[in-house]
Amino acid sequence: MILKVLCVLASVGAVSGHGRLIEPVSRVGNTGYEDDPVPSLTSTDFVCRHSSRNEAFVTSVTAGSTLTLKWRFGAAHVGDCSVYLSYDVSTSDPTSQSFFKIANLPDCRSQNNQPVTIDLPSWLPPGDAVLRWDWSALHTYPNVEFYTQCVDLTITSSSSLSPPDVGGYSILDPPIYPANGGDGVGYRNPFNPSSSQFMTGPACARGYEGNNCKVTEEGTEGNTGGGGGDGGGGDDGSGGDGSGGDGSGGDGSGGDGSEDLTPVCLIHTVKSGETLSTIADYYVSLGYEGVTWENICSFNTMISCDVIDVGDTYVIPGTCNSSSGGGGGGGEEGGGGSPGPAVAGVLAVLVVVVGAAVYVKGGFNVNVAGKRAKELWTKGGDNTMV
């Protein structure tokens, strides 16, 4: 048998990384490395990473038209992305900026490294603005990793609205998201298909219904407050006060994300000199006989099996404790093997492998790859193939 030898050793600065928005060009430009998660939900880095507008990278857009986004995840972990806007470009203080949501991108891993088009509401006021993209990665559920980038915009619009008419809220105070699956409204448990599969976050501004906004509209399970308003009206924004509320987070926020909850699977943090082959061999030596470099790569939907980065985190297939649960959905793990020996220096996490997903009638249709048997589960408008 001819075995593939993974000869590329893990090294700092390798191209795999974690994840980031690559189109349009963000404030740092495409040459800067920003693929690591932000420190916490209350860190100013969680707003935009960079606090000041960069006139060298400004994208011109028109309200009522579309904008193409593209993100790249080195390991396409399960999770959701969202898009916000702010007109507070004259301040470099992230804590004083007011944002509002215009798009939900549920299961954004399914569109990894692909162009994704969103609609820009026709009621957007004209002027300089900043687009904020974020990714809530759930592979460590009930813990969450957060990523964000910002793109500077100039918006052309015939809308008569001004930014105060749209409303908005702070990203940080209170935090727009719960700290983890056990906080506030929590997050869906992607590893338990029999639990409710919802998206967490604020409502979109002015009752906007495009861009999958109904997924987090007011009254949904994962809505954290903010957004809303009583309608968008026509191009001039009439038809309701459309205010964005005086804050986000609401019952869905809290903490700074620093408290880790008890997870149910093992995750390996890459160290210098390791390859997927040596990682697989390590777990086989601990008694996880089914672990191979191939299933580590496929289970984590990696862009390349040959390049890994120091600090990357990869879930080890077949190490899940089916008797453990988490917060915000909890329940038993929907498959996987029995837990093996305790592994020193390895964090246990919850994970699900999600392939392609499309938003369907207020939920999302998720095709989950892996060794688990496939079954169709339908609940509350969410059609999930696992």
Q: What is the pLDDT of residues 304-336, one digit of tens each?
A: 888 888 888 888 888 765 434 444 333 323 333
Which range has the top average pLDDT, 33-37, 124-128, 185-189, 290-294?
124-128
State the Cα–Cα distance between residues 51 and 106, nearest whole angstrom. Answer: 27
Q: What angle do CA 275, 279, 282 make, to 5 degrees?
A: 140
Residue type, 150: C
Residue 194 three-state SS: coil
Q: Does pTM top 0.85 for this prediction? A: no
Beta bridge partners of 69: 116
Task: Calculate the alpha carbon distances from 253 to 180, 221, 284 in Å.
Answer: 9, 14, 40
pLDDT score of 231 more than 80: no
Query: What's 282's DSSP letter?
Result: H
The answer for residues whose C-beta is within 8 angstroms of residue 238's C-beta and 6 or more apart is: none
Is residue 170 within 8 A of residue 177, CB to CB? The reply is: no
pLDDT-wise least confident of 42-51, 89-98, 115-124, 219-228:
219-228
310 close to 12: Cβ distance less than 8 angstroms = yes
Q: Which residues contact 199 (CB under 8 A, 6 or more apart)?
A: 80, 104, 106, 188, 215, 216, 222, 364
Q: Can you give the pLDDT at residue 10?
A: 46
pLDDT at 122 over 90: yes
Report the chain's mean pLDDT, rounded to a whole number: 76
Which helix (H) or strand (E) is 297 found in, with range?
A: helix 293-299
pLDDT of residue 321: 59
Q: Which amino acid is located at 124 in the chain?
A: L
Q: Is 317 in contact with 290 (CB distance < 8 Å)?
A: yes
Neighbours of 372 (CB within 10 A): 15
Pair of tokens at residue 245: 């509320």
312: closest CA among 352, 267, 278, 354? 267
Q: Which residues contact 2 (CB under 8 A, 6 or more apart)?
A: none
Average confidence (pLDDT) over 101-118: 97
Spell out the long-range contacts of 340-345 with Cβ–Cβ below 8 A and sequence spacing 24 or more: 340/283, 340/286, 340/287, 340/288, 341/286, 341/287, 343/266, 343/283, 343/286
Length of the chain in terms of residues written: 386
Give residue-wise pLDDT tens across range 232-280.
333 333 333 444 444 444 444 444 445 676 666 788 889 999 999 999 9
Mean pLDDT across the stretch 201-217? 97
Tell me the HSE value of 217 on the side-chain side, using a 13 A CA sphere.
15
**Residue 254: CA count within 13 A, CB half-sphere:** 11
Question: Residue 130's beta-bridge partner residues?
Answer: 86, 152
Q: Is the pLDDT of residue 178 over 50?
A: yes
The pLDDT of residue 307: 85
Does residue 198 register a pLDDT over 50?
yes
Query: What distances in angstroms separate CA 48 from CA 129, 160, 210, one per listed residue?
Result: 13, 28, 24
Whether residue 206 is predicted with pLDDT greater than 60 in this model: the reply is: yes
Distances (CA, A) of 20 to 54, 106, 154: 18, 16, 22
| Least reliable range by pLDDT among 1-10, 61-70, 129-138, 206-215 | 1-10
Say whether pLDDT at 132 is over 90: yes
According to DSSP, residue 172 is labeled B
